[in-house]
């Protein structure tokens, strides 16, 4: 398939990140077809010219390439593998690109099912949160057939800044697990450093100006620490989705017979965030749980 302005793009899932990612493609003039479970969330896409579809099957029948950005592995399974949905409805030669973070084993299952029907798939989870989605600076990590990846590289470049082919089907999802394991460690470090600085009586903005330029520098310090200082806990990435991702990583670790005690600890702390009622907040809400544990009224 040659990618040009006549290529019809389908998109399923226009949440916090998906709406911006699809929006960048529409801004480049591609004809778009959209479905999401909450129709009003498709309004920004439709205002840019996307055509509403009544089901994933409808999207598959209209589009040459379909991107999905949904919530949980069960959602991915339903969209791709349930009877009469994407794989069943896609025309031979269609490319399906799942940008949801999900189980590597599910990505392989989808790849094999699709290939048996002449349909191609790429697993391409992303990192960068709402900021990266809005600014088209996402990191995209892809698994699947190299020639299919190369064919749609120009579309990835519209949404992201660092796009890397990782290997066979499932490799994109495994790479995203490495990403989430790393982020889990930096999140607890970032929140605990702010908590320590607060109790020590430091001016936190001044403190951050020092440590964010040294060996402690990381994305969380640059993007989430300022939100915490403003008491802004709205989602760039939902707590409930991060708990899901850490669960996938721990499940894969058990399968590979390796121990990740640091990740298990961070997941337990995020379960505390969830228990406090902050599932729909951003991952920086970890600070709320740590403040609660320390008895700090804020």
Unique residue bearing structure tokens 């959602």: 75
The strand pair at 51-52 and 31-35 is best described as parallel
Kindly state whether residues 31 and 163 are assigned to the same domain: yes
**3-class DSSP state for residue 113?**
helix
Kindly state whether residues 17 and 162 are assigned to the same domain: yes
Tokens at 122, concatenated: 């790429």
**pLDDT value, residue 2:** 85
Q: Decide if 89 is inside a domain.
A: yes
Query: 124 burial class (0-12, 13-18, 19+ CB within 10 angstroms)?
Result: buried
Kindly state whether residues 87 and 151 are assigned to the same domain: yes
The answer to whether the beta carbons of residues 136 and 160 sit under 8 Å apart is yes
Kindly state whether residues 109 and 206 are assigned to the same domain: no
Kindly state whether residues 185 and 152 are assigned to the same domain: no
Kindly state whether residues 64 and 124 are assigned to the same domain: yes
Range of the domain at 191: 175-293
- Return the CATH number at 199: 1.10.1040.10
- Cα–Cα distance between 37 and 241 in angstroms, integer? 17
Blockwise average pLDDT, block size 10, the chain, 298 residues: 92 95 98 96 96 97 97 96 96 97 97 97 95 96 98 98 98 98 96 96 97 94 96 94 96 96 96 96 96 84
**pLDDT value, residue 1:** 79
- Cα–Cα distance between 153 and 142 in angstroms, integer? 10
**pLDDT value, residue 176:** 98
Q: Which of 143, 168, 193 is the last residue of a domain?
A: 168
**pLDDT value, residue 133:** 96
The answer to whether the beta carbons of residues 270 and 282 sit under 8 Å apart is no
Kindly state whether residues 36 and 138 are assigned to the same domain: yes
Alpha-carbon dihedral sign for residues 115, 117, 119, 121: negative
Kindly state whether residues 46 and 190 are assigned to the same domain: no
- Cα–Cα distance between 74 and 220 in angstroms, integer? 28
Q: Which of 138, 168, 198 is the last residue of a domain?
A: 168
Phi, psi of 8 (to 5 degrees): -95, 125
Kindly state whether residues 257 and 211 are assigned to the same domain: yes
| Number of domains into which the chain is organized | 2
**pLDDT value, residue 295:** 87
Q: Which of 168, 190, 222 is the last residue of a domain?
A: 168
* 207-224 as b/e: b if 16+ CB within 10 A: bbeebbeeeeebbbbebb
The answer to whether the beta carbons of residues 59 and 10 sit under 8 Å apart is yes
- Cα–Cα distance between 183 and 170 in angstroms, integer? 20
- Return the CATH number at 125: 3.40.50.720
19, 161, 168, 176: the active-site residue: 176
Beta-carbon contacts of residue 29 (< 8 Å; ≥ 6 apart): 5
Q: Decide if 110 is inside a domain.
A: yes
Tokens at 212, concatenated: 């964010």
117 is catalytic: no
Kindly state whether residues 135 and 223 are assigned to the same domain: no
Beta-carbon contacts of residue 99 (< 8 Å; ≥ 6 apart): 18, 21, 67, 68, 69, 124, 125, 126, 140
Q: Single out the residue of 65, 63, 67, 14 nearest to residue 37, CA to CA.
A: 14
Beta-carbon contacts of residue 251 (< 8 Å; ≥ 6 apart): 103
Kindly state whether residues 148 and 275 are assigned to the same domain: no
Q: Decide if 3 is inside a domain.
A: no
Kindly state whether residues 103 and 162 are assigned to the same domain: yes
Q: Decide if 2 is inside a domain.
A: no
**3-class DSSP state for residue 174?**
helix
Q: Decide if 283 is inside a domain.
A: yes
């Amino acid at each position: 398939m040659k990618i040009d302005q006549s290529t019809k793009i389908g998109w399923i899932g226009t949440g916090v990140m998906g709406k911006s990612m699809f929006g960048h493609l529409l801004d480049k003039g591609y004809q778009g077809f959209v479905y999401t479970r909450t129709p009003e969330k498709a309004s920004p896409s439709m205002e840019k010219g996307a055509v509403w579809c009544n089901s994933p099957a409808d999207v598959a029948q209209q589009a040459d390439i379909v991107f999905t950005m949904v919530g949980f592995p069960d959602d991915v399974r339903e969209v791709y593998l349930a009877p009469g949905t994407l794989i069943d409805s896609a025309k031979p030669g269609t490319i399906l690109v799942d940008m949801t973070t999900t189980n590597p084993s599910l990505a392989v299952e989808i790849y094999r099912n699709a290939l048996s029907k002449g349909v191609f798939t790429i697993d391409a989870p992303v990192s960068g949160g709402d900021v990266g989605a809005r600014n088209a600076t996402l990191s995209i990590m892809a698994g699947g057939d190299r020639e299919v990846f190369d064919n749609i590289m120009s579309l990835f470049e519209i949404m992201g800044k660092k796009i890397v082919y990782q290997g066979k089907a499932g490799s994109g999802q495994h790479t995203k697990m490495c990403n989430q394991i790393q982020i889990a460690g930096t999140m607890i470090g970032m929140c605990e450093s702010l908590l320590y600085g607060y109790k020590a009586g430091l001016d936190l903005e001044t403190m951050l100006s020092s440590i964010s330029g040294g060996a402690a520098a990381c994305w969380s310090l640059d993007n989430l620490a300022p939100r915490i200082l403003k008491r802004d806990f709205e989602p760039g990435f939902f707590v409930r989705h991060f708990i899901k991702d850490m669960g996938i990583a721990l499940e894969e670790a058990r399968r590979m017979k390796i121990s990740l005690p640091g990740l298990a600890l961070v997941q337990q702390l995020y379960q505390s965030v969830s228990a406090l009622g902050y599932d729909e907040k951003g991952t920086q809400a970890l600070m709320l749980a740590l403040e609660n544990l320390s008895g700090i009224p804020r």
